[in-house]
Amino acid sequence: MGESLTGSKSLGQICAEIYNAFPNHTYVGFYKSRTPGIVVRDYELIKDILIKDFKKFHDNDFYIDEKVDLIMGKNVFTLRGEQWKQTKSQLSRCFTSKKLKTMFPLMDEVGKAMITYLNNRQENNQLDGFDAKELASAFAVDLIASCTFGVAGHSFDSKKGELKKMVGEMFPQSTIIALKHVIFFVLPSLSSFIEVRVFPEKLTRYVRNMVTKTIRYRELNSIVYGDFLDIIREPIKDSRPFTEDDLTAHAGGFFGDGVETTSIATSYILYELAVHTDVQETLRQQIDDILSKHENKFDYDNILELEYLDNVLQETLRLHPPFPYMAKICTETIQWPSPLGLGKGPNVTLTKNMPIFIPVYGIQRDQKFYSDPNQFRPERFSTENKGINRPFLSFGSGPRRCLGERLGHIQVKIAIAYIVANFKITLNKKTILPLKIDPKYFLMAPKGGIHVNIVKRDEIK
């Protein structure tokens, strides 16, 4: 894991290399600094860890001190044990289909604002060479701001987009910050000593202020907005109510969880659509058909009817999972059969607190599960192929599966549906080909970014 600390390789790359180097092993030992750990290769064993034997691996191997970083320290992703269980139960209310459907009009307004922004750029001949992730981030920040606080984020207005700038400071392209993030993931026990934080103090203050002001205003005026902030304030029987720190942490967590990963996913979809024009045209035809049946308007239900868009999203996440690995902890001492197979060697003891890595990127590009695994083929996820038992772990699996998966899906689908309905996407020469993973970034983002041209449909003959 030392290469991740030097920035020569990302953790996702290292896990994938270990996965590919030992095809005859069900799992492989490694050292995370001086701590022995396991990289799991066998898909059935992975399912046991995440589902069947969850009680033995229920914590993620990430830690950040809430006294240093309140928002990340209280994030459901980093919480452990009973605290994780209670927080998950309280937050899961936010992501039901019913709640998201209620909030769809807020999301839809952000989609329309993005198209207005793109049309204005078109009129000024400024649609050449978009940074795909920057566009996706602006959309995501405004959507989360609207669905959390009921406010406009103004991310498409360079003069007012202060919130987007603050959110962007969570993941700056800085060698020092990159090293701190790697320490958070590789050596979490050191994070409190060197004060590793993901959320800048300025953003934490902003979120706390917004939470306090919004709650006070709604209580004084008896307003129920129905957004995330209202939902997490609703009392639950036999659960303690959230404190102001809790509300600040979870409101801020919507930005941390709902901006960067979905922006990366959206940018990769734009890349794949630009490269595979046949896929782009097939998707556009389905979108046109849906709009023609619904007065040229999107709603929650018809967005979900876009089956081919769902196929495109899942195939993109298979090839380019924003989180290229999972890191778990063995929460009790257990024994596993030899990594060569049952009866082919001595059992191996996994001690309590041993790190367990699951190489998502590696296993989702394994020829064993996906033919021509490096090729982009959305039909892999068509209705006809959904019964195939193969790994798809981009949102995790089991009790710790990503809570915001539904929100992430609808968020990305709205952005892509609006763009494809109105514009054609081509690849810009600024994109460095072939795409290479940025080794200094803890998520799986391409080095140099993805740059696309976005041009009105009727202007390309």
| Sequence ranges of the binding site for heme | 402
Burial class (CB in 10 A: 0-12, 13-18, 19+), 226: middle
> Can you list the positions of beta strands (E) in 267-380?
326-329, 334-336, 348-350, 355-358
Here the tokens at position 400 are 């710790």
CB 312 within 8 A of CB 287: no
Count of alpha carbons within 13 angstroms of residue 5, beta-carbon side: 9
What three-state secondary structure class fits 332?
coil
- Containing H/E element for 219? helix 201-221
Here the tokens at position 425 are 């996407």
State the residue for tokens 């406010």: 151
Which amino acid is present at 285?
Q
Distance separating alpha carbons of residues 169 and 132, to the nearest angstrom: 18
If we measure between CA atoms, which residue out of 243, 211, 239 comes closest to residue 227? 211
CB 80 within 8 A of CB 374: no
Distance separating alpha carbons of residues 253 and 64, to the nearest angstrom: 14
Which amino acid is present at 352?
K
Q: DSSP states of 14-77 as a string?
A: HHHHHHHH-TT-SEEEEEETTEEEEEE--HHHHHIIIIITGGGS-EES----TTT-HHHHT-TT
CB 177 within 8 A of CB 138: no
> Binding site: residue ranges?
402
> Can you list the positions of beta strands (E) in 192-244?
none
Q: Is the bond preceding residue 105 a cis peptide, omega within 30 degrees?
A: no
Distance separating alpha carbons of residues 349 and 337, to the nearest angstrom: 9
CA distances from 3 to 391, 440, 446 (A): 27, 10, 18
Cα dihedral across residues 125, 265, 60, 186: positive or negative: negative
